[in-house]
Amino acid sequence: MDGQVGARTDETSAGFAESEARIAALLAAQKAAWASDVTPDHTTRDDRLARLDRMVDSWQDRFVAAISEDFGNRPAVVTTLTDIVPVRAAIRHARRQLRAWMRPQRVSLAWTGIPASAVILRQPLGVVGIVGPWNYPLNLVLSPLIGALAAGNRAMLKPSELTPAYSQALAHAIAETFAEDEVAVVTGGPDVAAAFTAAPFDHLVFTGSTAVGRKVAEAAAKNLTPVTLELGGKSPAILDLSAQFDKAVPRLVWGKLLNSGQTCVAPDYALVPRGRVAEFLSAVKAEVGRQYPGLPANPDYTSIISVRHFSRLIRLVEEARDTGAEAVELGGSHDPERRMFSPVALIGAPDETAVMCEEIFGPILPIVPYDTLDQAIAYINQRDRPLALYWFGEDKAAQERVLTGTIAGGVTVNDTILHLAQDDLPFGGVGASGYGAYHGEAGFLALSKEKPVLKQSAISGVKLLYPPYGRLADWMLKLLGRIG
């Protein structure tokens, strides 16, 4: 969506109306289909997941090629590792666990409810809208779709307009795999995005920037549509005084430069003990050379998605340098024609500069020196709560202080990003980095209604409290007040 959801101008009104009508027709068809089978059985849900798995498998090479075309250059290994493999693993996980997730959950009753019984039924919500970003265009659309299908919902997907080749491939793949009233893809630009987020879905999942997430939440609120917002922010990496740089730096560099930093959970900046900054910078520069020799021509390195984003990264570095930061090239020169932005470290960037206020979403690594761990924790807590936090070190007491003293959407200790790949760990933000979560059972529950059901028995003491009230009711209320 890339900042495109918002107020409409007169010029876009006609396009919005056309998109709104098309989306409304699709939504009506899906809601009608859902109403004919409100709570699909296990066989139906498992079949939909199996078809999705076969689709990803058979379309893998075409998806990889289309995504690379959209980026300019994106290695097949990167797309397979970050988009294909996690999605197929999540499908298999959901199919294995589906019966257990669907099972009604028995709950205990207070003694006043006995001999009644109570359960929680997990039912689908209806039709789920899913708005995906451009950076991991397959993973971040199909991962929430897995939860939607497992929970028994229908779904409509809106991929990013910045990945047109992939979006068309996805539309063809979904149309080949699912009936339109099961799963449908809607493609297009800002007018389509605005119409999509304004539609009265039963739930809306959005992955993207915090700025656009606010607009999505506002649009959904008009329909009282509940939303799951997976946003971003500035995810810190703390290098503890006890950190071993020979272990920590390769893992941090991998996480920072995966997809050229165009990752919502990439380490955004590094907090480094003041006395170890020079050592850290030297280790980072050497590791960049090991992982990506010959930049910017290295074929394993990913292009920046668009000219606008490439120019934005240039401006971030220039502004920081102009206000006193030291800019250190970590790999080589940039290649504007191929949108290859070589990694840059920034030391001493003022807090008010854009690179320290905005999510970077690229291969720029600000280094923030700190004197004490409490100072590092305070620096994080003075800012919006991040989507991810990373800590490197050997000191278990320091690790515990960071884990208990900060709030973040998710944490990986002594590595980066890997918490995101675990299907039994919920993925979600907090505060400005989003709300709600999915992955595994968390995704199933996010897109289900947990309906409480009490089943009264033939024998019930509640009738002792029916009117007309008298001494018996008074006695019962006193009894309940003491032991209820």
**pLDDT above 70 for 361:** yes
Q: What percent of the chain has pLDDT over 90?
A: 87
- pTM of this structure: 0.93
Q: Cβ(428)–Cβ(409) under 8 Å?
A: yes
Comparing C-alpha atoms, which of 228, 165, 156, 152 is closest to residue 195?
A: 156
Which CATH homologous superfamily contains domain 236-428? Aldehyde Dehydrogenase; Chain A, domain 2 (3.40.309.10)
Q: Beta partners for 453?
A: 119
What number of residues does the chain have?
484
- Sign (positive/negative) of CA torsion 216, 221, 227, 231? positive
Q: What is the DSSP letter of 8?
A: P
pLDDT of residue 3: 44
Domain ranges of the chain: 10-231+435-449, 236-428
pLDDT of residue 5: 57
Based on the number of CB atoms within 10 Å of its own CB, is 110 exposed (0-12), middle (13-18) or buried (19 or more)?
exposed
Work out the pLDDT band at 1, boundaries 50, 70, 90.
very low
Burial readout 229-245 (b: 16 or more C-beta within 10 A, e: otherwise) = bbbbbbbbbbbbeebeb
pLDDT of residue 359: 96
pLDDT digits (tens, 9 = 90+) for 222-261: 999 999 999 989 999 999 999 999 999 999 999 999 999 9
pLDDT digits (tens, 9 = 90+) for 129-168: 999 999 999 999 999 999 999 999 999 999 999 999 999 9
| Cβ within 8 Å of residue 80, ≥6 positions away | 60, 64
- The Cα diameter of the chain in Å comes to 90
Q: 111 vs 158, which has greater pLDDT? A: 158
pLDDT of residue 7: 47
User: Comparing 10-231+435-449 with 236-428, is the CATH topology the same?
Assistant: no
Out of 14-23, 97-106, 247-256, 308-317, pick the least confident. 14-23
Q: 272 vs 469, which has greater pLDDT? A: 272
Q: Cβ(448)–Cβ(122) under 8 Å?
A: yes
Residues assigned a catalytic role: 230, 264
Rounded distance between C-alpha atoms, residue 86 and residue 250, angstroms: 22
pLDDT of residue 476: 81
Rounded distance between C-alpha atoms, residue 183 and residue 128, angstroms: 10
Work out the pLDDT band at 458, boundaries 50, 70, 90.
confident
Rounded distance between C-alpha atoms, residue 349 and residue 326, angstroms: 8
Instruction: Give the class (CATH, top level) of 10-231+435-449.
Output: alpha beta
pLDDT of residue 464: 78
Q: What are the DSSP calls for 407-426, one per residue? A: --S-EEESSSSGGGG-TTS-
Cα R_g (the chain), whole angstroms: 26
**pLDDT above 90 for 472:** no
pLDDT of residue 15: 63
Comparing C-alpha atoms, which of 129, 140, 141, 147 is closest to residue 49?
A: 147
Based on the number of CB atoms within 10 Å of its own CB, is 355 exposed (0-12), middle (13-18) or buried (19 or more)?
buried
pLDDT digits (tens, 9 = 90+) for 47-74: 999 999 999 999 999 999 999 999 999 9
Q: Cβ(158)–Cβ(134) under 8 Å?
A: no
**pLDDT above 80 for 319:** yes
**pLDDT above 80 for 484:** no
pLDDT of residue 478: 86
Rounded distance between C-alpha atoms, residue 213 and residue 225, angstroms: 14
Work out the pLDDT band at 14, boundaries 50, 70, 90.
low
Rounded distance between C-alpha atoms, residue 82 and residue 87, angstroms: 9
